[in-house]
Amino acid sequence: MRRKLGFAIMIAVLVIVTVFSAAGCRDKKGSVVKLDFAEGAFKETYSVDETLDLTNSYILATYEDGSVSRVRITPEMVSGFSSAVATSSGKLSVSYGGQSIVWLYTVKGSGGVQTSFRLKPVAVKSAAANEYTVYVNAEGIGANGIYAVAFDVALVSLASEGACEVSAEGWNISVNVTDSANFRVVMWSADGYTSVAEGATLVSFKVTGTKGAVSVQNASVSDGTADYTVPGSTYTIQ
């Protein structure tokens, strides 16, 4: 019995030693003291509205003991990136292990887009056969607000009467219909002070067809101080 007890105590001691040794091995590296970008982590130049591709993005993390680990960059580690507006002074940060590192980049676009405002069309199937309701939503409202919007709607393999329903409260609308596949929308704040809200629907309209595309083109906006050109956007119905 005494021999069995001694053996059990020996096993317990070995387990404790092993656990603490393993913990010591894990902590041997120490804290992260420095970050560097691996080659090809980010591009130096992006296009307007281009998304950040992190497929081959890595950082090199240096630890207190001098060891270096290659770490894949995840979206949660990145902050500050925006390609909404053309700029020569873009700056993003990558954070890991209590350290941060900065990458400078340029955003270029045809015409030099100078506003983050975007018009995003979305189509939802209606109850009627081969009919959809298209909602044109506003995104990227700046600090100054948006008080007037103009844009063309071009339909591919779809048709519409161009009858738009205003969703933006306190806004007026004028619609110029060219044909069943093309019309122009001009909207403005009735009092000149009521801005459209972030993510709000500006207008909605019906289209018919089994599949096709809805494009918002030749768009421009005013924030009360200047007019800006807005990149086009397309929604495909399949």
Give domain 32-108's CATH number out of 3.40.50.2000, 2.60.40.3630, 3.20.20.370, 1.10.10.10.
2.60.40.3630
Among the ranges given (15-29, 131-145, 149-163, 202-216), the one the predictor scored with the smallest mean pLDDT:
15-29
Q: How many residues does the chain have?
A: 238
Tell me the whole-structure pTM to 2 decimals. Answer: 0.66
> Alpha helices, DSSP H only, in the chain?
2-27
Q: Which residues of 8-36 are buried (b: 16+ CB within 10 A; e: fewer)?
A: eeeeeeeeeeeeeeeeeeeeebeebeebe
- Does position 11 have pLDDT exceeding 60, yes or no? no
CATH 2.60.40.680 is right for the domain spanning 118-237: yes
Measured between alpha carbons, how far is 194 from 112 in angstroms, rounded to an integer? Answer: 27
Which residue ranges does the chain devote to CATH 2.60.40.3630? 32-108
13 or 91: which leads in pLDDT: 91
What are the residue ranges of CATH 2.60.40.680 in the chain?
118-237
pLDDT of residue 122: 96
Radius of gyration of the chain from Cα atoms? 28
Amino acid at site 33? V
Q: Which pLDDT tens digit goes with each residue over 100-144?
A: 999 999 998 766 678 899 999 999 999 888 999 999 999 999 889
In angstroms, what CA-CA distances link 110 with 6, 86, 143, 229, 233? 81, 9, 24, 10, 15
CA atoms lying within 13 Å on the CB side of residue 46: 24
172 close to 186: Cβ distance less than 8 angstroms: no
- Tell me the pLDDT tens digit for each residue of 48-79: 888 999 999 999 999 999 999 999 999 999 99
Cβ–Cβ < 8 Å for 204, 165: yes
